[in-house]
Structure 1
Amino acid sequence: MSFDISRPQQAAVLSRTPRRSDAVAQVLGGFKTIADGLDYAARGVTGFNFYGGRGALADVLPYADLRHRAISTARKLLSLGLKRGDRVAVVAETGSEFMAVFFGCQYAGLVPCPVPYSMYIGGRDAYVQRIAGMFRAADVSAVITTEDVKEHIREGAAVAGVSVVFSHAELAACPESMTRLEGFGPDDVAYIQYSSGSTSSPKGVLIMQKSIMANAEGMLRHGLRVRPDDRAFSWLPLYHDMGLVGFCLAPMLGQVTVDYLPTTAFARRPTLWLKLMSENRSTISYSPTFGYELAARRINGEAITLDLSNWRAAGIGGDMVRADVLNEFAKSLSLAGFNARAFVPSYGMAESTLAISFSDVDAPIKIDTVDLAALKTKQRAIPAKNSNDRVRGFVICGAPLPQHVIEVRDDKGKALGEREVGRIFVMGPSIMAGYFKAEEATAQALGSDGFLDTGDMGYLLNGEIVITGRAKDLILHNGRNIWPQDIEWAAETIVPLKSGDVAAFAIEGADGDDEVVVLVECKLSDPLQQAELRKNVHMKVSQAAGVDCTIVLVAPRSLPFTSSGKLSRAGARDRFLSGEIAEVAGTH
């Protein structure tokens, strides 16, 4: 019997899935594979709900229906002549069609590779090249795409030498292979996740079935302490680890209902996130810091109309956690019943499936305020003696998940003590198997001792991790270590600048020392106003970081961002040096 996967059967009026399955006990771990977990979740009534750009319920996918559609899709995929272990790229639009293909691959013994749907990063040509790089990196055998980006995908596939490209509608028209379905075991690959910084030369992170099981159980049981009546909400892209693992795979493995808003809809109307959470009485949602900042800025007087009192886990991940932004969000949404104790600063990355550490649920965020001079010159996080000192506050991101170990090491690989700043290494069952067909990159990231080099810098405090920044972004200036975010955040306090308008990085100066460059997106056209902005930024940066720098005003939307929405300082530096990012006219 064939099943049309292009359009789910729907009643005249959609009804979202409930928040709990009373007839089925909640199980938060013990599954062997993703398909094993879906087989169990399908016995209940929870599932996925998809909202449109205006906030109306557009599609409903109970886990029982997802399993049925996934098995049908598995047979259709196998009818294309694909063999066990082949990689299948699938455009990760937020919707039931992506879910059917991703989970269908699990039953078919195929490896799904979610790729970005959005083209906002760099336009059409950049999107095509980026997609082609992903297809090559995973050596994909087939691509499944949405209709609206099919031509772009076909172009990228042609560049990568991939000939099998189907839209969801075209796949739906395929016959179902009667071949016996042979899914994966615990030691098989679950999917390939592209690292968030990937651009022209992306790295495909190999995540095993047993790794996602370990990470999901750690999040469900320990990180978020999931309950039977929890209901999750997400606007995060499903091609990114926080969206895919945190708000698709893990909730399914915990039989938790998830409500989705497309990422593009959130970008246009950030407050829709909060309005739908209020309507659905959602309890768990995550965002990078910039998401909280956008929502707080746009909410205006509408907070009093919302009820966010059920939101018990407001996670932060994907970028540096900023206490000032969280405080402003809590203040703006207090009238909606939001409790600041809901904030859950976290740390993770695709190379560790997703999660590495969580701060305590239902507890105030913890901030470690340290002496800025000692941090820069001695690489030690010494507690500030009084508020009159030049200080820096870091949000503590919690203890590692059970069975995981975090070490902070110096440049020679020696483990450091508490409050000593160094490079962060992680070991545990969630760690990736490696990068697909990239032995050199894998050897650089994974040591013979089983530890993953995260590329992040930080220090330990009472067994909890504190992140100070990315190692590759660190600026060496006059014998001091300077974190670029200190410069950027200081500059962004100046009106009319906002988060994401400033990028700081170093270029080699004539004397071999780092010369600090600060790119500032500028909408001002008046030369006098531009000069005033330049002067104010220079003064703020000097006060905050004690560094002399070159201020360059650039056009709006010039600065590059990664697939997860993080500022790419390396990309900004490369574009600046190549002349691709140029100074706006009238600034001198």
Structure 2
Amino acid sequence: MTTADTLNLTREDPTGEGPATILDALEAAARAPEGFNFHSGRGELIEALGYAALVEQSRALAAKLIGAGVKLGDHVALIADTEGDFVRLFFACAYAGVVPAPMPLPMAFGGREGYVAHVRRMIEASDASAAFAPAMMRDWLKEAAEGLPLRLVGTIADLAEVQPSTAPLPTPDPDALAYLQFSSGSTRFPKGVSVTHRSLMANAAAISRHGLQTRPGDRCVSWLPFYHDMGLVGFMLSPIVAGLTGDYLATRDFARRPLLWLQMIARAKATISYSPSFGYELAAQRAATVDLGDLDVSCWRCAGIGGDMIRPHVLRAFADRFRPHGFDLDRYVASYGMAEATLALSFAPLGPGLRTETVDLDRLESDGVADAAKPGASRTREFVLCGPALPGHELAARGPDGSALPARRVGKIFARGPSLMRDYFREPEATAETLSPDGWLDTGDLGYFTHGELVITGRAKDLILVNGRNVWPQDLEWAVEAGVPGVRSGDVAVFSVDRDEGEEVVALIQCRTREPAARAALQDQAAKLLRLQFGTPVVVRLVGAHALPVTSSGKLSRSRARELYLSLPAEAA
């Protein structure tokens, strides 16, 4: 069965574009042998879950959910581990006519107490009537849900003794919610993004047909978490729509053994896999210290890159390390998107691979214009081209007055199209701030267009004003990582703090030594480098290893780093 066949087997939507809901897509995919394969931290197959079995098991679980008292339209919180039970529960919710709300594992929350409090707030924010977790998280979930008005709190095993409902399962409306996706929370507490079946199917079909141009024989490998939009939509739901098999490694296992990702690609002869920049960086760093033997990843035709600011030098280093093993720069597929757009908004064209342009940083900071840098220019910045908008979608760069900007002028990026969220769940004010009445989404990102392709320059809220210039914090962060010995990728957070005397620029740097002279030298080197390269004094403070806060998806949270800085005693080093 071909991908094209799979996309058009069941109940069509009114536009004739394909299956109307994710359940229609799943039942279409179930007519072929594809499915999900879950692997251990050693790369061993734990479970093969075919789409046909997933349909049968999810429908049975849906009847039990209804039998346990979950009502049509309820929301159900699901702690999203990379395992078959999460997928079964997700689709059981869909078949029962209830809305799954995937929630994170405790990887980025600093201990049990912080995680329990965070998940409790998410359960409350999602208005969940039931909550499920993997067996290893049962007690933590029970603690998080204590005192909340939930009908069910436990694991999938707790449904075993429930008497299933004998009523027919409901048929979802394409305009009903498919799931509630919590944003990663880089600037504030995560908001629930309401995604309908129609938006999901529009985005998944566009990703498959136009972004990745899936074909018979394609296969996916992913370590991305199912609670993040790139993992959930990109590598759990989109493969179903495309009728592809996926092989999965838990994020925690990737972090421990990043080369297992490449070994799984080689073993499965996978063609599609995605990662933020840090995933490629971690794998290349680990590969620098080991013999890769006869590893062959020449099968990998779409090496997607997204989820954070794209770092070209990281991707070049990865390609250099794995070129002898069948990889090269032409495999990269840069893309741009966000949970509020279901997932993707733009894709770079397949074939050319990584494409960048280098601009004059002084002109960019002072005038907001992305002029090409002249040969020998001292201050430059390299950006990655993320391609045009997906078919049926629009992207625009706008100035402060809301007017559209010409090519190469940096402005706030707005998006419109069939993939956009319905709203932020039960947050009308935040929704009104983000979605205009005529359907334009304020992405919160800054960027510009060149030859119809999108280039992202940073987050609008992170921008720092220095002596009348707009400075991107990642430029300062990357300068320290590249220019100060001993500072690693991800060790630096730069942000500004409003003081009575003006804007104070701060750099928090993770430091792994307690030796006073070494610490003083690190602070001094970083402050001098930043003053020299950016012409501004920067307050440099040292924090412990792993002290910088990150979101549930692994991104640096500058807003929480700012809170950390403001909480430090004045004499702390």
The interval holding the TM-score normalised by the smaller chain is over 0.9
Q: Is the aligned partner of 1:351 residue 2:331?
A: no
2:254 touches 2:260 (CA, 8 Å); kept in 1? yes
SS in 2 for 1:492: helix
CA distance in structure 1 between the aligned counterparts of 2:83 and 2:348, rounded to whole angstroms: 31
Aligned match of 2:53 in 32, 42, 65?
A: 65
SS in 2 for 1:305: coil
2:181 corresponds in structure 1 to 193
CA distance in structure 2 between the aligned counterparts of 1:298 and 1:278, rounded to whole angstroms: 17
1:8 corresponds in structure 2 to none
1:517 corresponds in structure 2 to 506
Q: Is the aligned partner of 1:271 residue 2:251?
A: no
2:12 corresponds in structure 1 to none
1:205 corresponds in structure 2 to 193
Q: Is the aligned partner of 1:364 residue 2:353?
A: yes
CA distance in structure 1 between the aligned counterparts of 2:477 and 2:187, rounded to whole angstroms: 23
1:376 corresponds in structure 2 to 365
* Partner amino acid, structure 1, of 2:22: I
1:92 corresponds in structure 2 to 80
CA distance in structure 2 between the aligned counterparts of 1:127 and 1:38, rounded to whole angstroms: 33
**5+ long unaligned stretches in structure 2:** 9-16
* Partner amino acid, structure 1, of 2:376: S
CA distance in structure 1 between the aligned counterparts of 2:21 and 2:54, rounded to whole angstroms: 16
Aligned residues: 563
Cα offsets for 1:343-392 (capped at 9, x unmatched): 11110100000001011112132212111111111111111122334111
CA distance in structure 1 between the aligned counterparts of 2:559 and 2:95, rounded to whole angstroms: 40
Greater Cα offset, 483-492 or 570-579: 570-579
CA distance in structure 2 between the aligned counterparts of 1:122 and 1:161, rounded to whole angstroms: 27
1:13 corresponds in structure 2 to none
Alignment of 1:105-504 (within 5 A): 105-158=93-146, 160-197=148-185, 201-300=189-288, 301-493=290-482, 494-504=484-494
2:14 corresponds in structure 1 to none
SS in 2 for 1:275: helix
Deviation at 1:200, TM superposition (A): 7.3
2:141 touches 2:154 (CA, 8 Å); kept in 1? no
CA distance in structure 2 between the aligned counterparts of 1:175 and 1:269, rounded to whole angstroms: 42
Deviation at 1:560, TM superposition (A): 0.5
Seen in structure 2, the aligned counterparts of structure 1 residues 358 and 518 have a Cα distance that, compared at 3 Å, is same
CA distance in structure 1 between the aligned counterparts of 2:269 and 2:519, rounded to whole angstroms: 46
CA distance in structure 1 between the aligned counterparts of 2:520 and 2:558, rounded to whole angstroms: 24
**Identical-pair percentage:** 47
Deviation at 1:279, TM superposition (A): 1.1
Cα offsets for 1:419-454 (capped at 9, x unmatched): 111111000000000011110010011011210000
CA distance in structure 2 between the aligned counterparts of 1:533 and 1:476, rounded to whole angstroms: 25
CA distance in structure 2 between the aligned counterparts of 1:189 and 1:468, rounded to whole angstroms: 32
Cα offsets for 1:58-107 (capped at 9, x unmatched): 11101111111110111111111111110011111111100101011111
CA distance in structure 2 between the aligned counterparts of 1:269 and 1:288, rounded to whole angstroms: 16
Greater Cα offset, 361-370 or 72-81: 361-370
CA distance in structure 1 between the aligned counterparts of 2:562 and 2:155, rounded to whole angstroms: 38
Q: Is the aligned partner of 1:81 residue 2:72?
A: no
1:130 touches 1:200 (CA, 8 Å); kept in 2? no
Cα offsets for 1:142-199 (capped at 9, x unmatched): 0111121111111211264435202111123322211110031211110000011168
1:132 touches 1:159 (CA, 8 Å); kept in 2? no
* Partner amino acid, structure 1, of 2:402: G
* Partner amino acid, structure 1, of 2:561: A
Greater Cα offset, 335-344 or 379-388: 379-388
Deviation at 1:535, TM superposition (A): 2.1
SS in 1 for 2:193: strand
SS in 2 for 1:399: coil
CA distance in structure 2 between the aligned counterparts of 1:501 and 1:234, rounded to whole angstroms: 25
CA distance in structure 1 between the aligned counterparts of 2:140 and 2:92, rounded to whole angstroms: 24
1:88 touches 1:110 (CA, 8 Å); kept in 2? yes
Deviation at 1:22, TM superposition (A): 6.8
Greater Cα offset, 222-231 or 198-207: 198-207
SS in 2 for 1:49: strand
Deviation at 1:208, TM superposition (A): 0.6
Deviation at 1:310, TM superposition (A): 0.5
CA distance in structure 2 between the aligned counterparts of 1:539 and 1:405, rounded to whole angstroms: 43
Deviation at 1:583, TM superposition (A): 7.3
2:535 corresponds in structure 1 to 546
SS in 2 for 1:303: coil
SS in 1 for 2:369: coil
Cα offsets for 1:375-422 (capped at 9, x unmatched): 111111111122334111111111110010001111111111111111
Aligned match of 2:522 in 506, 529, 533?
A: 533
* Partner amino acid, structure 1, of 2:113: D
The RMSD of aligned alpha carbons is 1.7
* Partner amino acid, structure 2, of 1:249: L
CA distance in structure 2 between the aligned counterparts of 1:148 and 1:227, rounded to whole angstroms: 38
CA distance in structure 2 between the aligned counterparts of 1:160 and 1:23, rounded to whole angstroms: 44
1:486 touches 1:544 (CA, 8 Å); kept in 2? no
Greater Cα offset, 292-301 or 191-200: 191-200
Seen in structure 2, the aligned counterparts of structure 1 residues 194 and 302 have a Cα distance that, compared at 3 Å, is same
Deviation at 1:540, TM superposition (A): 2.8
CA distance in structure 2 between the aligned counterparts of 1:72 and 1:379, rounded to whole angstroms: 57
1:14 corresponds in structure 2 to none
